[in-house]
Amino acid sequence: MTRHARFTIDADVAPQVTACYLRVAGEECAFVEAHTAHALPRLLAALAAGGKRPEDVRWVVVTHAHLDHAAGAGALLAACPRATLLAHPRAAKNLIDPANLVRGATEVYGEERFRRLYGHVTPVPRERVRELVDGETFDLGGATLTAWHTSGHAYHHMVIDDPATETVYTGDTFGLVYPGLQAHGLFAMPSTSPTGFNADLARKSLDKVLSLGERFVCPTHFGAHEGALAIAAQVRRFVDRAGQWVEEAAQGDESMQDMEACLRSAWWGAIAEEAPRFGAAERALLEQDVELNAKGLAYVATARRAELAARA
């Protein structure tokens, strides 16, 4: 009988913030998410700890092209000579030529911080990429896994349904579920980082994951979780708020800077409602996400404002 197993790899410098998953099926392996080139030693160490070689890796799967999920894909493929990258068609394009991703992230973080966070982003060879359309399947050691496109966080996002392990690898579709925020009860919130947030599509994507009926959801941030219904319900409450904030900001006349400040305040207020017992440690863990979430909503609100002005 084929042995099916899933292992969580703590891929980031900060503990339990960003996960990659090693999926083993008999003699074959796959990585779900690649994180950054900085994570490569951890991924290869996990492979060796499982008694596997880089030559045993058949697939490297990325849920979307954001750099905390996919910046290391080129480096990982170089280390795993038989592996093929599986990605959403829009994500594949950006990983084959990552110049726009690098440029956008550098504008957000600055050159020095970008290099510290993401290192060098190696382009993925076109001939080693397979694009997955919505509902397309792929085989791993006798198991059949299915890719489902799930917009809302990014337009090039997909989740992977893995019935053999009762798992859906959700990327950012099911939000951020950091272990360090669970001491006072469940806490899950969406990532609305630039530039693809869409509240309606985010809700549909939550519903899609729930419809798959698997026991576990594995968000990239972080680890395997049961209780998908409760996670989805809390993420949905935040998504509903965020959608409303976007519409309100779009109808105002604030500058981008003032809009971001207002949205940061709104996020912290909503977090306090959902998690009134959070203290300094939890706030510190969420600081960067709140900053990025505010930037993402301000970007969408600005685009929405232009759309409304064009209609007037």
The pTM of the full predicted model, rounded to 2 decimals, is 0.95
For residue 303, the one-letter residue type is A
pLDDT in tens, the chain (312 residues): 358 999 999 998 889 999 999 999 999 999 999 999 999 999 999 999 999 999 999 999 999 999 999 999 999 999 999 999 999 999 999 999 999 888 888 887 788 888 888 888 999 999 999 999 999 999 999 999 999 999 999 999 999 999 999 999 999 999 999 999 999 999 999 999 998 999 999 999 999 999 999 999 999 999 999 999 999 999 999 999 999 999 999 999 999 999 999 999 999 999 999 999 999 999 999 999 999 999 999 999 999 999 888 887
Angle CA 85–231–178, to nearest 5: 65
**Contact call for residues 164 and 143 (beta carbons, < 8 A):** yes
DSSP string for residues in 6-52: EEEEE-SSSTTSSEEEEEEETTEEEEE----GGGHHHHHHHHHHTT-
Domain residue extents for the chain: 4-233, 238-311
Alpha-carbon distance 175 to 231, whole Å?
8
Q: Which CATH number among 2.40.100.10, 3.40.309.10, 3.60.15.10, 3.40.50.150 corresponds to the domain 4-233?
A: 3.60.15.10
